[in-house]
Structure 1
Amino acid sequence: MKDQPSVMTGRFSGLSSKLIATIIGVILLVEIVVYLPSLASFRSTWLEDRLRVGVVAARVLDAVPDVMALPRDLTDRLLNSAGANAIVYRREGQSQMIELTNPVMPDSVVTADLRQGDLPSRVWGALDTLFAGPGRTLRVVGAGDMNESLVELLMPEAPLRRDMIDYSRSIALVSLGIAAVTAFVLYVLVSRLFIDPVLRATANMLAFRKAPENAALVLTPSARRDEIGILERELADMESELFSMLRQRRHLADLGLAVAKINHDLRNTLTAAQLLSDQVATLDDPKVQRLAPRLVTTLDKAIGFAQSVLDYGRETSAVPQFAPVGLRALVDDAGFEARVVGHPVILFRNEVDDALVVDVDGSQMNRVLVNLIKNAREALETAASERRDFYIAVSARSDAERTVISVVDNGPGLPPRARENLFVAFEGSARSGGTGLGLAIAREIVEAHGGVLALVETGQGTRFDITLPARRQDG
């Protein structure tokens, strides 16, 4: 027997580790989904703060007459407040600009239009800034505080990118903290509600498997009303039934062994009595001649019963060895073994098509047919004194899904007691002194082939149908 895996003993192993990893993964995924709009909002707010300085500068420019120039210290303060290299104010087709004393021509300029407020554009712009290389210049465009006025800022992108990285780092630390705390709380809760009961049931199953006859290992279910409670109760019921069944099987095995020994000795005794009765039957005494046949018949029944019990006890559940078998030849052999071929009173008819082939274990299916035909023969022989037109017919029909073999006789039919206990060992015999083992064994063999053995009501006589699955197509 192969070794079975043991229960995981580590607290953070098996389902526990998968649960924690799943919770953390889901929380981080949610944080990422929330992070992207948050990062876009941070970038927009940062740029809008700088743009407000540009609007203030635009007001100053708008208030100063065209013939005057702003003092250099004022323009430097405005540019430093905005963190810009230049501020451009556009209104009514005119443009005014404030720039550094020694402006530097940028190598790469990227436009950020704050007038576009849709979320995808803002998220894409934030990602573009976050993963941009150094040295880029950002052209920020936004509406001024007057109708149809625009304010533009030319500024290096590096400060914005640096602040966004710091913001992202803070968000990451907070997200990890939230994920860890949430995962721990959910883990404790889920462990108490689900993981621990599952581990308990798993450990119980493994322990009970090693010692199924130990009643102390039967699971004690909890009072839960949910699916786990149902699982615990069903597992406890199954283990209790298995415990009782194994104990009963052991008792029956011990009893069967004792009965087999007694039966063996009884058969030997009956055989000796049969030999003695045969000698007594040769005596010329009229009373002996009248009683001897009854004695011989009774001993024959007793010996047959003892032999049937021994055969049933030695019966093994061999796995059928499937192979293509011609059904007509199989029926011919069964009829011969059941002693109906050439019978003086009973006509045996093999109505199976010569070309019909079934995929069965030939020896086992032969035993089924022999039992059915033999039972029919014995029933007809019992009623032979009443009529002489008895027959036993075996026919078969087959389609794409199944093959049905019918064993039919025109005898008196089965008595009610036999019908009630059909296929039950020692109970389903239709004749006095029978064991009823033939039908029980036949049904076991047919079921092992995946088929069904059933009694079919015909109104007259007896008919058994063997229904087998369609022939398997190998390869």
Structure 2
Amino acid sequence: MTARSSALPSRFAGLSIKLIATISAVILLVEVVVYLPSLATYRANWLDDRLRVGVVGARVLDAVPDVMALPRNLTDRLLTSAGAYAIVYRREGQSQLIELANPVTPETVVTADMRQRDLPTLIMGALDTMLAGPGRTLRIVGPGDLDQTMVELLMPERPLRQEMFDYSRQVVILSLVLAILTAMALYLLASYLFIHPVRRLTENMLAFRQAPENGSLIITPSARRDEIGIAERELAAMEQDIFTLLRQRRHLADLGLAVAKINHDLRNTLTSAQLLSDQVATLDDPKVQRLAPRLVTTLDRAIGFAQSVLDYGRETSVPPVLAPTPIRPLVDEAAFDARLSGHPAITFSNAIPDTLVLSVDSGQLGRVLLNLLKNAREALEAAGAKVSDPTVTLSQVTGDQGITLSVADNGPGLPPRARDNLFVAFEGSARAGGTGLGLAIAREIAEAHGGHLSFVDQPVGTRFDLFLPRSLLVKN
């Protein structure tokens, strides 16, 4: 058996690395999906903390009478703890302001309204903070601790953006560690359950392909009841069948070689006997003259049988070489070789149109037609005067599935014994002394072309149909 070099990939170059990469990618994708709501929640909590400081400042403002002013050091502490430039407290249409001694005039102000807490708004706000450049001022708006109250903070966005980047960095590191650990854990589990059994199957197939006659390489299936267990059992059964068939083939090859040698020697012996019988037939003895023809016929049959066995043994399974072939000239050539063209008693009709061109192996298809036409001629010659106007017809029918070439004669037909083993070598002959090899070879050639050869039962005569698929039809 020819063997192509096939190397099994390393443990981390086949399914293993693909499995680890896939698991890691899926985990990271899930982390990305989870990361955005988590980042939005982190930002919302950070802003809520600043609002709570603003609410404390508002309480301080409520505690101080209107005629009094807050001490500067107290307001500076409140603003410093909140990290804000100013705090505005709104209540019942009135506003109170706490600001730095040196007020800051912001250039770019972005508003974060914490009264809108739906998830899409929070995510969009978090992405806006992450993607925006530094230097912006953040205006945080949120409800106070009492009804009809509101607190506003004016502060730089830079601290929030920096903390969000730090948080994202921690999430990325944690996600990578989690992805790697999870992927390794799942890989070890999948390796035990799937990758190792599949690798075992692959290694066994490669080893068995190199030495299919080594019975020790037949895989021993496990007791698994899943798909891998089924694959192991089926592979073991297939390897067992291949091992058995190869041993049988070797035995049959050895036996065939011995039979070929016996046939060769027998054929030489029969040829010598035939020469001797021809010389005996020239003698004037009446008994010799009466028995000589029967002896000659018997020797001819024995020589023909030996020659047929030798020819069948030399048959090789060569795939057909397809080429566009006009069928009508091929039929005429086969009829000439079958001695039907110009036959003194048998009429041959070639009903194949000139336009029919098929992509076939002309040599192999010609052998099929020759065998069928030769069988028809021999059947009609054996019937003799029992058949009036003996005729052999080769016709063609094109259908949706393909083309059918029919070889029919109006002879006596096939006996039931011949029909039972029609395409079986050495058993399917319809005439005495035949081997049945012709139809067996013809069927193999038809199947090699993707078609089939079949016997069609009909009231009068014998008919064989050679079906060829429509894909072989060459359009003109």
TM-score range, shorter chain: over 0.9
With over 3 angstroms needed to count, the CA separation of the structure-2 counterparts of 1:177 and 1:357, relative to structure 1, is closer
1:307-333 alpha-carbon deviations (Å, 9 max, x no partner):
111111122233323233332222222
Q: Could you tell me which residue of structure 1 aligns to residue 7 of structure 2?
A: 6
Question: Which amino acid is 1:386 matched to?
Answer: K
Q: Identify unmatched segments of 5+ residues in structure 2.
A: none
Partner SS for 2:296 = helix
Q: CA deviation at 1:54?
A: 0.9
| In structure 2, distance between residues paired with 1:92 and 1:418 | 114
Q: Could you tell me which residue of structure 1 aligns to residue 462 of structure 2?
A: 462
Q: CA deviation at 1:83?
A: 1.5
| In structure 1, distance between residues paired with 2:131 and 2:229 | 53
1:140-189 alpha-carbon deviations (Å, 9 max, x no partner):
01112233322110111122122222222222232223222221221111
Q: Could you tell me which residue of structure 1 aligns to residue 86 of structure 2?
A: 86
Q: Which stretch of the first structure deviates more once superposed, 25-34 or 171-180? A: 171-180
Q: Could you tell me which residue of structure 1 aligns to residue 296 of structure 2?
A: 296
Q: CA deviation at 1:93?
A: 2.9
Q: Could you tell me which residue of structure 1 aligns to residue 368 of structure 2?
A: 368
TM-score (norm 1): 0.95
**Does the 8 Å contact 1:345/1:384 carry over to 2?**
no
Partner SS for 1:139 = strand
Q: CA deviation at 1:399?
A: 4.6
Question: Which amino acid is 2:261 matched to?
Answer: K
Q: Which stretch of the first structure deviates more once superposed, 379-388 or 18-27? A: 379-388
**Does the 8 Å contact 2:358/2:474 carry over to 1?**
no
Q: Could you tell me which residue of structure 1 aligns to residue 402 of structure 2?
A: 402
Q: Could you tell me which residue of structure 2 aligns to residue 350 of structure 1?
A: 350
Q: Could you tell me which residue of structure 1 aligns to residue 163 of structure 2?
A: 163
- Are positions 1:320 and 2:335 aligned together? no
**Does the 8 Å contact 2:387/2:411 carry over to 1?**
no
Question: Which amino acid is 1:130 matched to?
Answer: M
1:100-156 alpha-carbon deviations (Å, 9 max, x no partner):
111221222111111111111111211222233222211101112233322110111
| RMSD over aligned Cα atoms | 1.8
1:354-376 alpha-carbon deviations (Å, 9 max, x no partner):
33222222222111111001111
**Does the 8 Å contact 1:91/1:148 carry over to 2?**
yes
Identity %: 69
With over 3 angstroms needed to count, the CA separation of the structure-2 counterparts of 1:238 and 1:150, relative to structure 1, is same
With over 3 angstroms needed to count, the CA separation of the structure-2 counterparts of 1:193 and 1:244, relative to structure 1, is same
Q: CA deviation at 1:3?
A: 3.8
Alignment map for 1:3-42 (pairs within 5 Å): 3-10=4-11, 12-42=12-42
Q: Could you tell me which residue of structure 2 aligns to residue 217 of structure 1?
A: 217
Q: Could you tell me which residue of structure 2 aligns to residue 50 of structure 1?
A: 50
Q: CA deviation at 1:208?
A: 0.6
| In structure 2, distance between residues paired with 1:237 and 1:86 | 84
| In structure 1, distance between residues paired with 2:459 and 2:147 | 104
Q: Which stretch of the first structure deviates more once superposed, 443-452 or 184-193? A: 443-452
TM-score (norm 2): 0.95
| In structure 1, distance between residues paired with 2:119 and 2:420 | 79
| In structure 1, distance between residues paired with 2:363 and 2:6 | 40
Moved over 6 A (4+): none
1:44-68 alpha-carbon deviations (Å, 9 max, x no partner):
0111011011112223323433332
Q: Which stretch of the first structure deviates more once superposed, 175-184 or 404-413? A: 175-184
Q: Which stretch of the first structure deviates more once superposed, 314-323 or 303-312? A: 314-323
| In structure 1, distance between residues paired with 2:172 and 2:341 | 91
| In structure 1, distance between residues paired with 2:459 and 2:39 | 87
Question: Which amino acid is 1:105 matched to?
Answer: T
Q: Could you tell me which residue of structure 2 aligns to residue 128 of structure 1?
A: 128
| In structure 1, distance between residues paired with 2:50 and 2:277 | 126
**Does the 8 Å contact 2:394/2:408 carry over to 1?**
yes
| In structure 2, distance between residues paired with 1:117 and 1:79 | 25
